[in-house]
Structure 1
Amino acid sequence: MIDAHTHLDVRSFEDLEKMALCGIEKIVTCAHNPYRMSVPEVYLDHWERLIGMETKRGLMAGVDVKVAIGIHPMGYPKEWQRLIEEMPRYLEDKNVVGVGETGLHYLRDDEKNLLKEQLKLAMEYSMPVVIHTPEKDKGKALQEILKILKEVEIEEDLVMIDHINRDTVDLIDMDVYVGLTVQPTKINPEEAVEIIENYDRKFILSSDLGSLKSDIYALPRTRLLMKKRGLEKRKIVESTYKNARDFYRL
């Protein structure tokens, strides 16, 4: 299994070990906003931590950790353009496999510009990009994201739109990867299985582990439920492993 979206820097080493023990072989940890990201230097330190420390913690725990580097819409400095200028040297690191977590949250104009700039970098470096959708006004944010994706003309297979639920899956009119986040504040295993069963999309399951309530067993728990429900093996393998492997080129 591959956990395609986590925030390992706020989780314990014991959590990493438990994930390895339950069959998770690879983890992608995405940049986020663990602090008040008031100045660019805070983000640069955050990226350095993900690349330098989290990959090493993964090795110690017996799981292969890769990194996505991005600027999260829930917290970014006013001087974010400096970060766009710094990102290329991080994207060239061998442990960096994607751009993210980016996206829209409050739907401000500045967020939209920030998203566009990160999409342009993803296109320039031919790297996959993880796009956040908010809990509130998810449908409205998703429509705006889709509009921006079409405007910049990014290749569809470079995009994963994350945190999708049963109310928004029908809104996606592009052949992008669809992220299903099994977490108490997003969707539960039952809803994830229902979506995977009823739709034929490029689904990627993840736990989105963070500092709030999360489930380190989200993937094995959902995979077990899929087996109990009798879902075809292809859908189980694709959503828990193959699609994430293909998306991140792992």
Structure 2
Amino acid sequence: MIDAHTHLDVRSFEDLENMAIAGIEKIITLSHDPYKMSVPEVYLDLWDRLINLEVKRGKIANVEVKVGIGVHPMGYPKNWERLIKEIPKFLDNENVVCIGETGLHYLKEDEINLLKEQLYIAKDYKMPIVIHTPEKNKKEALLKILEILDEVKIKEDLVMIDHLNEETVDLVEKYYIGLTVQSLKLTPERAAKIIKEYNKKFILSSDLGSLKSDIYALPKTKLELKKLGVDENKINKSLYLNAKEFYRL
């Protein structure tokens, strides 16, 4: 299994070990906003930590950790343009597999511009990008994201739109769909029902962070998928193959 979206920098080493024991082979840890992201240097330090310390912690725990470099819509400095210039410098690193987490949250003009700039980098460097959708106003944000994607004209296989649910999964046809298995977002039972009902390019993740989340989210969802009698190939795609393809692992 591949946990396709986590924030390991706020999780314990024991969590990594237990995920490895539960059958998680690879973990993608993405940029987020664990602190007040008041100046660009905070992000630069975070990216350095993810690439160096989190990858190292993964090796010790016997699980492969790869990294996403990006600027999150829930926290970014006023002079975020500097970070747009810095992102390409990280993309040649062997442990960086995507740009993200980016996206829209409050739908402010700055967020929209920030997302566009990161999409253009992803397009130019042919780098996968992970796009956040919010809990509130999810449909409104998703429709705006789809509009921006059409404007940027990025290849569809470079995009994963994350945190979708029963109300929004129907709206996405061309891109990878991230399902976040977390008590605040989707239970394993709900995620399994979505996967059974639709034939789309699903990628499952736990979105581990500082709020309530479950290091066993993926194994629990796998069990629910088996209970529902979902085809083994479909299970394997949602838990492993689609993420491997998207992140080019």
- Shared fold, TM over 0.5: yes
For 1:154-207, what per-residue CA distance to the aligned partner results, in whole angstroms no more than 9, with x for missing partners? 0000000000000111112x4100000000111101110111001000000000
CA distance in 1 between partners of 2:57 and 2:126 (Å): 27
Q: Does 1:241 align with 2:230?
A: no
CA distance in 2 between partners of 1:190 and 1:64 (Å): 27
Q: Where do residues 151-166 of structure 1 align in structure 2 (5 Å cutoff)? A: 151-166=151-166
Q: Where do residues 218-233 of structure 1 align in structure 2 (5 Å cutoff)? A: 218-233=217-232
CA distance in 2 between partners of 1:28 and 1:126 (Å): 18
Code of the aligned partner of 2:88: P
CA distance in 1 between partners of 2:196 and 2:183 (Å): 21
SS of residue paired to 1:127: coil
How does the TM-score come out when normalised to structure 2? 0.99
CA distance in 1 between partners of 2:92 and 2:125 (Å): 9
Paired residue for 1:125?
Answer: 125
Paired residue for 2:39?
Answer: 39
CA distance in 1 between partners of 2:6 and 2:55 (Å): 13
Q: Does 1:178 align with 2:177?
A: yes
Paired residue for 1:105?
Answer: 105
Code of the aligned partner of 1:80: W
Code of the aligned partner of 2:92: E
CA distance in 1 between partners of 2:92 and 2:34 (Å): 24
CA distance in 1 between partners of 2:164 and 2:140 (Å): 12
Paired residue for 1:52?
Answer: 52
CA distance in 2 between partners of 1:209 and 1:165 (Å): 17
Matched residue count: 249
Paired residue for 2:209?
Answer: 210
How big is the alpha-carbon RMSD for the aligned residues of Structure 1 and Structure 2? 0.5
CA distance in 1 between partners of 2:151 and 2:168 (Å): 21
For 1:125-173, what per-residue CA distance to the aligned partner results, in whole angstroms no more than 9, with x for missing partners? 111000000000000000000000000000000000000000111112x
- How far 1:124 moved relative to its partner? 1.0
SS of residue paired to 1:93: coil
- How far 1:234 moved relative to its partner? 1.2
Code of the aligned partner of 2:58: G
CA distance in 1 between partners of 2:227 and 2:152 (Å): 42
- How far 1:49 moved relative to its partner? 0.3
Paired residue for 1:195?
Answer: 194
CA distance in 2 between partners of 1:155 and 1:182 (Å): 26
SS of residue paired to 2:38: coil
Q: Where do residues 141-160 of structure 1 align in structure 2 (5 Å cutoff)? A: 141-160=141-160
Code of the aligned partner of 1:196: I
Identical aligned pairs, as a percentage?
Answer: 67
Structure 2: where are the runs of 5+ without partners?
none
Q: Which runs of 4+ in 1 moved over 2 A?
A: none
How does the TM-score come out when normalised to structure 1? 0.99
CA distance in 2 between partners of 1:48 and 1:124 (Å): 23
- How far 1:229 moved relative to its partner? 1.4
SS of residue paired to 2:32: coil
CA distance in 2 between partners of 1:169 and 1:197 (Å): 13
For 1:206-243, what per-residue CA distance to the aligned partner results, in whole angstroms no more than 9, with x for missing partners? 00000000000000000011112111011100000000
SS of residue paired to 1:180: strand
Structure 1: where are the runs of 5+ without partners?
none
